[in-house]
Structure 1
Amino acid sequence: MGIYNRYIDDVTKIGRSTMVLGFLASLLPALIMTFYFGFNPGLAAIIAGAISQASVSGAFYFSEPISYYPIVGRAGLYMGFLSGNLVNMRIPAAISAQEASECPAGTEEGSIMGTIGIGVSIWIGIVFLILSVLAGQALLSQLPPSFMALLTLVIPGLFGGVFAQFAIKSPKVAVFALAVSFTMTKLVNFIPGKPAFLITLVSVFSSILFAKKLMEKRVG
Structure 2
Amino acid sequence: MNNQEFNKIWKQPVIKIGVFTLLLTAALSFLPVGYLYFVHGVIPDLALALKAWGMIAALFGAFYVVEPVSYYAVLGLAGTYMSFLAGNISNLRLPCASMALEVTETEPGTKEAEVISTLGIAGSIITNLIGVTIAAFVGTALIKLFPPVVANAFKVYTVPAIFGAVFGQFAFRFPKLGVVGIGIPVILRLTTKLPAWALIIASVFGTILVAKILNERAKRSAGTTA
Which residue of the partner structure matches residue 223 of structure 2?
A: none
* Structure 1 residues 155 and 80, CA gap change in structure 2 (3 angstroms): same
CA displacement at 1:172 relative to structure 2: 2.3
CA displacement at 1:162 relative to structure 2: 0.7
Quick check: 1:217 aligned with 2:217? Answer: yes
Which residue of the partner structure matches residue 30 of structure 2?
A: 27
Please say if residues 184 and 198 of structure 1, whose CA atoms lie closer than 8 Å, have aligned partners that are also in contact: no
Quick check: 1:164 aligned with 2:168? Answer: yes
Please say if residues 72 and 112 of structure 1, whose CA atoms lie closer than 8 Å, have aligned partners that are also in contact: no
**Equivalent pairs, count:** 216
CA displacement at 1:3 relative to structure 2: 5.6
Q: How does 1:189-204 map to 2 (within 5 A)?
A: 189=193, 195-204=195-204
Instruction: Tell me, in whole angstroms, the C-alpha distance in 1 between the residues paired with 2:34 and 2:110.
Output: 42
Instruction: Tell me, in whole angstroms, the C-alpha distance in 1 between the residues paired with 2:44 and 2:53.
Output: 13
TM-score normalised per structure 1: 0.87
Quick check: 1:95 aligned with 2:68? Answer: no
The answer for unaligned runs of 5 or more in structure 2 is: 221-226
Instruction: Tell me, in whole angstroms, the C-alpha distance in 2 between the residues paired with 1:28 and 1:202.
Output: 38
* Structure 1 residues 186 and 46, CA gap change in structure 2 (3 angstroms): farther
Quick check: 1:18 aligned with 2:24? Answer: no
Q: Which amino acid aligns with 2:200?
A: T
TM-score normalised per structure 2: 0.85
Q: With a CA cutoff of 8 Å and minimum separation of 6, indicate the structure with the bigger relative contact order.
A: 1
Instruction: Tell me, in whole angstroms, the C-alpha distance in 2 between the residues paired with 1:136 and 1:177.
Output: 34
Instruction: Tell me, in whole angstroms, the C-alpha distance in 2 between the residues paired with 1:24 and 1:181.
Output: 37
Instruction: Tell me, in whole angstroms, the C-alpha distance in 2 between the residues paired with 1:109 and 1:88.
Output: 23
Which residue of the partner structure matches residue 206 of structure 2?
A: 206
Q: Which amino acid aligns with 2:10?
A: Y
The percentage of aligned residue pairs carrying the same residue is 35
CA displacement at 1:4 relative to structure 2: 6.1
Q: Deviations over 1:119-158 (max 9, x none)?
A: 1111111111111233333333223334323313221111
Secondary structure of 2:29 counterpart: helix
* Structure 1 residues 44 and 184, CA gap change in structure 2 (3 angstroms): farther
Q: Deviations over 1:154-185 (max 9, x none)?
A: 21111011111111222222222222212344
CA displacement at 1:62 relative to structure 2: 1.6
CA displacement at 1:66 relative to structure 2: 1.7
